[in-house]
Chains A and B, each alone.
Chain A
Amino acid sequence: MRAFTYERAASVEAAAGAAASNPEAKFIAGGTNLLDLMKLEIETPSHLIDVNGLGLDRIEATPEGGLRIGALVRNTDLAAHETIRRDYGVLSRALVAGASGQLRNKATTAGNLMQRTRCPYFYDTNQPCNKRRPGSGCSALGGISRQLGVVGVSDACIATHPSDMAVAMRALDAAVETVKPDGTRRSIGMADFHRLPGDTPHIETELKSGEFITAVVLPPPIGGRHIYRKVRDRASYAFALVSIGAVIQPDGTGRISVGGVAHKPWRLDAADAELPKGAKAASAALLADARTTEQNKFKVDLVERTLGAVILEARG
């Protein structure tokens, strides 16, 4: 870990401004991802802006009938929130499928969206990794890739985004609200928030330098069965090999968002449209452009089978 300076931001605008004035600065929320990465010198910010004291820890109803989740709401609190549990069950279930109780007590909504990949080579600074050191190469291609992405991947990077929460938010068509250093505010749909790796796997989201997340907004509830199915080697405390966040209506239509397969939560309109036809059709649409490795090709089958189980559960 490199030495760094530290400040507590006094306001959202001040936080964004401070970040903009120092390109090597980072926001710190729960610190559960950032501190680990700093210890390994994968992240080397020279300055930390603590955003815990900005009062962004509330969940409020929106005039449209949805919910605005403050960026600093802890994962535990979000998962336990009554309205979330009642009307957005897929989100609550995704959250409690992630990490551990202790981590969820610290982890925040914004931090969870911004967490970085779990590709093992990303964590070993001796190894080439385009995401960690742009242009150095991708060690996972031709290496250990069982956990990694099968769709939307590039020759530069096949990493996945590890968040469970984001998969559910994508299914719910959530939007991320931000403030830029110049004070302008904008809203970015979850579909666009995370990027595919392309040639620039080190750029993971649409956020611009210093841009600060203030909240995530959920549209009004859409009913249906809310299911989150996380498939993993051990029963808890493991990242997903594949996960499916689904909202399925009584008529068989619905939305499916898939985790563990891409650089972002993977959802396609074409696949949603196929959903009434069943798991085979929907997963064929989801993974039409799959590009697998020898080690992770099982994920294609696994998505289809898991989706099959999810559809059965929705019917049952």
Chain B
Amino acid sequence: MKFETPAKTNPIDNLKVVGQPIHRIDGELKTTGRAMYAYEWHDPNMRYAYGYPLGSAIAKGRIKSMDVAAVQKSPGVLSVVTTLSVGDLGKGKLNTAKLFGGDKIEHYHQAIAVVVAETFEQARAAASLIQVDYQEESAAFDLAAAKGSAVKPKDAGGAPPDSAVGDFDGAFKSAAVSFDGTYTTPDQSHAMMEPHASIAAWDDDELTVWTSSQMIDWWRSDLAATLGMEKEKIHLMSPFIGGGFGGKLFLRSDAVLAALAAKAAGRPVKVALPRPFIANNTTHRPATIQRIRIGAQRDGKITAIGHESWSGDLPGGGLETAAMQTRLLYAGENRMTAMRLAELNLPEGNAMRAPGEAPGLMALEIAIDEMAEKLGIDPIEFRIVNDTQVDPENPERPFSHRNLIGCLKLGAERFGWSERKQPGLRREGNWLVGLGVAAGFRNNLVMPSGARVRLAGDGVVTVETDMTDIGTGSYTIIAQTAAEMMGVTVEKVGVHLGDSRFPVSAGSGGQFGANSATSGVYAACIKLREAVAKKLGFNSNDVVFENGQVRSGNRSVALAEAAGSDGLVGEDTMEWGDLTDTHQQSTFSGHFVEVGVDAATGETRIRRMLAVCAAGRIINPITARSQVIGAMTMGAGLALSEELAVDTRHGFFVNHDLAGYEVPVHADIPHQDVIFMDETDPMSSPMKAKGIGELGLCGVSAAIANAIYNATGVRVRHYPITLDKVIGGLPEVA
């Protein structure tokens, strides 16, 4: 099915199941420990061996030699596979740095060996006995130092790296009020709960991999490319994923090492990346330096807006597209954006939740707050004055649906925005208290997505798709979609995900998963409905699927009966026309935060948070809310504590464990409120839904930064906003 014209009324609009607050159908499996994550697969008939990886101790250079003699003598060791012994391997299309194979070292903790032993402990102990002789090369690790040598890359995630409309320079110079600020965001780690892990088993030349992947088909293709084998010979399974945040979008070394280790040992092998590898062996969100310039009339109307951003990556890598949202978020006749890429030899930078927008809004939404203050206008009013219903770089292109103003107004009312005082004026005991606001913005992407839906003789509907559930609730919303389409309750639907034998789906990323994958299920259900109608000899145009029955005119047949003993199947892929080109499809939010800053120590503690989100139809308010509060929590970490600390001498992230890389703990997160605007977007899909998982993160950190400013009068432009950046501006301790 191709979605080419705006959705009309369709069975989803019945909202008997879709849109309802249904608890996740896999919740019980998870809370009782029966959901099997990658490393936990256990077949009693298999004799698993354990692989433990070794990472490079240098950031750039080559390996002259490796001595594994001591390893081979170590107790329990079955085999050792080194990056030299496997020779030159292929590289996945979506990987920047090679994952394994050859003597070249591109980054710290690059995998250089895997030791296989009878037990995990034996493998780990033996891995440390490998002697490596390196030849180190000089390299660049410091973004600030490399900024001058940054170049204009070919593309910025599929778009041009620069854009310009009107005369930005002239308008900025002549603006009645202008603002020019530079901001930085640090390298950030996905730091998901479940580390990357894989089990590989060979059967002759066929490979089965249980892994933790957001994108089954991407992994399968890139694993085939890396190992130089046919994709069809690989069977990949990833039914449960303990978080990914973009860190599991692309094939990682655990799967490659497990495959090679299993081949060498002649046994199925389990490999999990040790926690320190998450920072330096896998990908991270690259640091940015961003300059934002805004010019406006005294009434607050923006006349010039410019956003430049610099980030770094390995040779052949890509940008952190931090200026993208500035092309779309606010009106203004004269505009420019430019993104530049420096070559750095840190580990590979790549997508992390809301790539581009998350760090981009961390900067832009502070700048908007600063500009509003310069203008003497309330920051919400300033955003409203500069709202746009069309793509400001391309005014013939309207937004499909945009209610940022509604989010901000409703949020202001619910949060008590009118009680906000001037900076530094509200004190409660030891706390300086402040309120902050920011707009959230993230594009709604769509991806082709396939599914197969079976109707069995007992009336049970089963969905199969390689879609993944990375903790987001895919199982549940897919069940809801199938239930709505087939006129049954959720209890009558089984969902099987994350298996390469199933139709290729959108996968989980870019907040395209929920809308795209449920649309794929919609398409497959349309096929199944046609098959049911055809079998019953019904005219498929007037068939109603309701309460487990199929009805046409005055005839009504139980679904189970219609299926018959052979059952029926519908399979299809949702594809997309050009509605995303003709219309700008985006999601919007208003983030509101109240912080307390300790007047003596400068410690910031968040007191209240509210997100008001406009993201089309909300398929399930419970799972959507979980996405948003999780994202708000991530935004709190990015604002206040998360930073991969770069050793600019040796080129690695030093705080490579969860003690050093501080994500929020429960005590950091106060009451969180989420409100969804009651809306649909018929341009987006037959579901009329849009993405929500990344929107929840976009803008949160800036709202916190703005609240800290309101509390203290101290403006911090460099994340994370730790107390050392604040205390210099706090009042004397009496």
Measured CB to CB, the residues of A under 8 A from B are 1-3, 39, 41, 118, 120-121, 123-127, 139, 142-144, 146, 231-239, 241, 279, 298, 301-302, 304-306, 308-309, 312
Contacts and interface: CB of A to CB of B under 8 A. Distances in A.
Interface in B62-112: 75
Most B CB atoms within 10 A — which of A234, A239, A241? A234
Contact of B657 (A1, A123, A231): A123
Nearest to B658: A237
Contacts of B406: none
B567 interface: no
A124 B654 CA distance: 8
Interface in B639-659: 640-641, 645, 647, 649-650, 654-657, 659
B629 to A, nearest CB: 17
Contact of B723 (A118, A231, A308): A231
Given A2-B125, A144-B645, A233-B640, A298 B724 contact: yes
Size category of the binding interface on chain B: 35 or more
Nearest to B646: A144
Contact of A238 (B430, B654, B662): B662
Contact of B640 (A124, A234, A312): A234
Nearest to A297: B724
B723 A233 contact: yes
B46 interface: no
B46 to A, nearest CB: 25
B654 A308 contact: no
A190 B676 CA distance: 57
A126 B720 CA distance: 27
A143 B667 contact: no
Contacts of A302: 601-602, 723-724, 727
B58 to A, nearest CB: 8
B232 interface: no
Interface string B703-734: 00000000000000000101110011010011
Given A127-B650, A298-B724, A312 B656 contact: no
A146 B640 CA distance: 15
Nearest to B659: A118
A302 B724 CA distance: 8
B733 A241 contact: no
A234 B734 contact: no
B649 A143 contact: yes
Which of B276, B600, B724 is packed against the most chain A CB atoms within 10 Å?
Answer: B600
Given A234-B662, A298-B723, A305-B727, 5 more contacts: A143-B647, A144-B645, A279-B733, A306-B600, A308-B733
A235 B601 CA distance: 13
A291 B209 CA distance: 53
B668 interface: yes
Contact of A309 (B121, B640, B641, B733): B733
Contacts of A235: 605, 665, 667-668
Contacts of B430: 309
B331 to A, nearest CB: 38
A49 to B, nearest CB: 20
21 contacts: A2-B125, A3-B75, A3-B125, A123-B660, A124-B276, A124-B654, A126-B57, A143-B647, A144-B654, A233-B662, A234-B664, A234-B668, A235-B665, A237-B667, A298-B723, A298-B724, A302-B602, A302-B727, A308-B734, A309-B600, A312-B733
A306 B664 contact: no
Contacts of B659: 118, 239
B353 interface: no
B555 interface: no
A298 to B, nearest CB: 4
B298 to A, nearest CB: 39
B47 interface: no
Closest 8 A/B residue pairs (Cβ)? A308-B733, A309-B600, A298-B724, A126-B57, A235-B667, A236-B667, A144-B654, A144-B645
Nearest to B636: A234
Contacts of A309: 430, 598-601, 733
B124 A144 contact: no
A231 B660 CA distance: 16
B422 interface: no
A315 to B, nearest CB: 10
Contacts of B720: 233
A219 B655 CA distance: 40
Contacts of A121: 654
B125 A1 contact: yes
Nearest to B647: A143
A80 B603 CA distance: 27
Contacts of A139: 647, 650
B668 A301 contact: no
Contacts of A231: 601, 603, 723
Contacts of A234: 640-641, 662, 664-665, 667-668
Given A144-B655, A231-B723, A305 B600 contact: yes
B128 interface: yes
B671 interface: no
A234 to B, nearest CB: 5
A121 B733 CA distance: 35
A237 B603 CA distance: 15
A297 B646 CA distance: 19
Contacts of A304: 733
A125 B641 CA distance: 25
Contacts of A308: 600, 733-734
Contacts of A305: 600-602, 727, 730, 733
A279 B128 CA distance: 49
Contacts of A236: 665-668
B716 to A, nearest CB: 13
B734 A312 contact: yes
A113 B572 CA distance: 64
Nearest to A239: B659
A258 to B, nearest CB: 14
A124 B656 contact: yes
A142 B649 contact: yes
Contacts of A125: 128
Given A144-B645, A144-B647, A233-B640, A298 B600 contact: no
A143 to B, nearest CB: 5
Contacts of A237: 665, 667
A301 B602 CA distance: 11
Contacts of B641: 233-234
Nearest to B606: A235
Contacts of A124: 276, 654, 656
B653 to A, nearest CB: 9
Contacts of A118: 659
A144 B645 CA distance: 7
Contacts of A2: 125
Contacts of A301: 727-728
A120 B654 contact: yes
B733 A232 contact: no
B573 to A, nearest CB: 45
